[in-house]
Amino acid sequence: MKTIIEPFKIKVVEPIHMTTPEQREGVLQEAGFNLFLVKARDVLIDLLTDSGTGAMSSEQWAGIMRADESYAGAESFYRFERQMQEITGFTHVLPTHQGRASERILFELIGGAGKVVPNNAHFDTTRANVEHSGAEPVDLPIDEAKDPKNRHPFKGNINLQTLEDLIGRVGADRVPAVMVTVTNNSGGGQPVSLENLRGVRAICDRHGIPFFLDACRFAENAWFIKMREEGQGDRSVRDIVREMFDLADGATISAKKDGIVNIGGVLLLRDDALFQNATNLLILTEGYVTYGGLAGRDLEAMARGFEEVLREDYLDYRIRSTAYLGNQLTEAGIAIVEPPGGHAIYVDAKAFCPHIPPAEFPGQAVVAGLYRIGGVRAVEIGSVMFGGGGHAPPAMELVRLAMPRRVYTQSHIDYVAEAMSELHARRDTLRGLRIVDEPPALRHFTARFEEL
Ligand SMILES: *Cc1c(COP(=O)(O)O)cnc(C)c1O
């Protein structure tokens, strides 16, 4: 069948509003051309992020009503813990309020000055937490990942050779963990193969270094493995997921992605001593171990979300929907990071507006243009997000169109493709931007711009 059937029907609806071009112009000016500073009610289709923006199921809402809100030892925690143990095989399961809380706890314990943390590509909060601990984050993507046109099936892979070289150069004692992000968010939502994860495990074993997953999109990654990796097609997603986690010593997870909840995170650990220390920090800053800064109802929603995300009809719909948007853009002549990733389409902004140099933020220009033309909100992943603060400019200037889970229908996506095509037709009119105000870190969230 050609039609991508949504494996659900809609029971609750939320109106969205079209704005006039004049209104959008005013909104852009007021927000200093930073879409993070735009009110959601002024957005028609919000592809800013797939994080915490998913629609929960009737089962998740039912769980919310049933939740146990006891401070200690709540039933909801044990249901959540059991679910995570069953899916991942990890014995130590800590709930946190979101992914970055797991990262903060982990790197406060294993990071520190003089340490180096390799990753296929650090997500922005992961990078910031590694740096905040005093350690140095190093991205080691494979060469194919640097070429947007390259259709390597596992473009999220970490470069095993440069990983080995790095460990040899700085010494294993300075590398507290190797991290691999599945799927690779900053690198285009591209998957990592099982073969690559096994390779990382072997290198970590050889040097006695722990291996951690940034496992925000573990289910989407497993679906790509099932679809693309030799010899994996007959395995269940659940089985592949289990092998991915079995290869690691720990994982940080934002449940706002493949947990299909609006808030929540997880820290998974194998080491008893590390778990004890993480527990102490959790209690210090997040909350008691059986709720970790969340309500019992959040734990119920997570337990069910992590179960539902493993449904193969859901993953088929999910990954095909993303590819559907990517294919429409490609057909309109718009260059994207190929092949389409799991949770988002990444438009190549350098190719979109070659007349705007990286220092004038071509990605931000496309983001502003897309809002202006159709009220669609996207996000820049390029020099705004990763530049500044003495960082070298990133290899790619991208615009991410992230797909909230179970929220938009095919006609919403057709509309987005139409708005992008229209913008592409008028791309010569796009103008670069200049930053007029920026914070010391994570500047993309609050910086203000002026059009040149
Ligand atoms: C979202 C995300 C995080 C951080 O999670 P939050 O819940 O936003 O704190 C970390 N890593 C990756 C790959 C992510 O996509």
Q: Give pLDDT tens digits for 316-356.
A: 999 999 999 999 999 999 999 999 999 999 999 999 999 99
CB 20 within 8 A of CB 44: no
> Residue 214 Cα, ligand 1 centroid: separation in angstroms?
8
* Ligand 1: lining residues by beta carbon, under 6 Å: 51, 98-100, 123, 125-126, 181, 185, 214, 216, 254, 256-257, 265
What is d(CA 280, CA 289) in angstroms, rounded to the nearest whole number?
9
From the alpha carbon of 49, which atom of ligand 1 is closest? 1
> Residue 367 Cα, ligand 1 centroid: separation in angstroms?
21
**Mean local confidence (pLDDT), 363-380:** 97
From the alpha carbon of 51, which atom of ligand 1 is closest? 1
- How far lies 395's CA from each of 111, 121, 148, 386, 392, in Å? 26, 12, 10, 10, 9
Q: What is the pLDDT of residues 31-68, one digit of tens each?
A: 999 999 999 999 999 999 999 999 999 999 999 999 99
**Mean local confidence (pLDDT), 284-312:** 97
Res. 186 pLDDT band, cuts 50 70 90: confident
- Helix/strand/coil for 200: helix
What is d(CA 43, CA 181) in angstroms, rounded to the nearest whole number?
30
Q: Is the pLDDT of residue 309 over 80?
A: yes
Give the right CATH number for 58-308 from 3.40.190.10, 3.40.50.300, 3.40.640.10, 3.40.50.720.
3.40.640.10
Q: What is the pLDDT of residue 393?
A: 81
Tokens of 76: 């909801």
> Residue 270 Cα, ligand 1 centroid: separation in angstroms?
21
Q: Is the pLDDT of residue 391 over 80?
A: no
Q: What is the pLDDT of residues 398-420, one digit of tens each?
A: 999 999 999 999 999 999 999 99
Query: DSSP states of 241-292 as a string?
Result: HHHHHHT-SEEEEETTSTT-SSS-EEEEE--HHHHHHHHHHHHHHT--TTTT
Q: What is the pLDDT of residue 89?
A: 98
From the alpha carbon of 52, which atom of ligand 1 is closest? 7
> Residue 288 Cα, ligand 1 centroid: separation in angstroms?
22
Which of 223-227, 344-348, 367-371, 438-442 has the lowest average pLDDT? 438-442
Question: Which of 49, 102, 119, 125 to mutate for ligand 1's pocket (most ligand atoms within 8 Å of CB)?
Answer: 125
> Residue 216 Cα, ligand 1 centroid: separation in angstroms?
6
**Mean local confidence (pLDDT), 155-159:** 97
CATH topology of domain 21-50+311-451: Aspartate Aminotransferase, domain 1 (3.90.1150)
- Helix/strand/coil for 185: coil
For residue 437, is it left (φ>0), alpha (ψ between -120 and 50) or beta?
beta
Instruction: Break the chain into its structural domains and give their ranges.
Output: 21-50+311-451, 58-308
Mean pLDDT of the chain: 96
Q: Is the pLDDT of residue 86 over 80?
A: yes
